[in-house]
Amino acid sequence: MAKTIANYFEELRGTRVWRSVFRSGTGSSTLHRSLAIQQNVFLHLFSTKVRTRMLSFSATWYLGTLTFGTFLILVATGIPLMFYYHPSVPQAYADTKDLQFVVSSGLFLRNLHRWSAHAMVFLVFAHLFKVFYRGAYRPPREFNWVIGVVLLLITLFLSYTGYLLPWDQLAFWAITVGSNIASAAPVIGNKVHFLMLGGNVVNANALLRFYVLHCMILPLIAILFIAVHFWRIRKDGGLYVHQSEPKTVAASAAAAKGAQ
């Protein structure tokens, strides 16, 4: 019998090198498939088993996954942009223009970064609305809702800090107005404003601070919270599907029993 691609793959999975990386090895039993998820550092955040219903489009409209997808695009496009962008007052605007008109594929990367940023903000809101109107925020998922709200705020801060970086008039005045909103907070407002900008006006310090927040601090915090958010899905009983909820299952079982 001729070997199929599947056979070759199965052979590969049996090799020592493969097994040193992926410990579950050959076989496709339930145990093997569970181990493949459980023993992978990225996949072990998720359940080893899910109901097909939970993965259907109608359950979530894939809004959370799409949000995460835009986040990955933003990381993948943001890092190359950093190679050409200097967060300094004389250079920032010129670098932005260079990225658009001089750097090969710079326009593509910058636009992809920009559109994904807009899409991410939109998708985060859509995801929250979907979860809210489905009632998926209710116990036992109430804490994951809180993490979701934190992730919304991180997304908005990422969007806001990124807005200053082109250092054009739009950016300058948007950050002037935005940072003055912070100084309207009682008692600590002016201190927050001063710390945020590293001065009294939007200037070199503010540009550098926003750059560090945008490229380092906020993405790292976002990754941390995203990991907890995903892990909590498993811990809180999987994605919310009304028909699979323990209460619904118990109620329908009781109804079936009553009908007998």
Partner 1 sequence: MPEEKPITPAESGTDIDRRSFFVKLGLGSLSIAAAGTAAFSYQFLSPNVLYEPSPIVNAGKPENYPVDSVTLDVNSGIYLVHAKEGFFSLSAICTHLGCMTAWKPELGIIACPCHGSKFYVLDPKKVPGTKIEGPAPRPLPWLQTSLSDEGDLMVDRSKQIDPMKFLRV
Contact positions toward partner 1, by CB under 8 A? 173, 176-177, 179-181, 194-195, 198-201, 203-205
Backbone angles phi, psi at 165, to 5 degrees: -60, -35
Nearest Cα to Cα of residue 75 among 256, 244, 207, 216? 216
**Residues 108/48, Cβ–Cβ less than 8 Å:** no
State which residue, 172 or 240, has the beta carbon closest to partner 1: 172
Q: Residues 66, 77: contact at Cβ < 8 Å? A: no
Give the separation between CA 160 and CA 191, rounded to whole angstroms.
19
The residue among 193 and 232 lying less far from partner 1, judged by its C-beta, is: 193
* Tokens describing residue 177: 């107005």
Nearer to partner 1, 38 or 176 (CB): 176
Least distance between partner 1 and beta carbon 78 (Å): 24
Alpha-carbon span 227 to 71, nearest angstrom: 13
3-state helix, strand and coil shares in percent for the chain, rounded to the nearest 5: 75, 0, 25
Using only the alpha carbons of the chain, give its radius of gyration: 24
Least CB distance to partner 1 at residue 181 (A): 6
Measured from the CB of residue 177, what is the shortest distance to partner 1 in angstroms?
4
Site of tokens 């009632």: 135
Closer Cβ to partner 1, 103 or 174, answer by number:
174
Nearer CB in complex with partner 1: 150/182 = 182
How far apart CA 47 and CA 37 sit, in angstroms, is: 8
Which residue is associated with the tokens 């300058």? 172
Min dist. Cβ of residue 158 to partner 1 (A): 20
CB of 183 to partner 1, least distance (A): 9
Q: Which is nearer to partner 1, 198 or 237 (CB)?
A: 198
Least CB distance to partner 1 at residue 208 (A)? 11
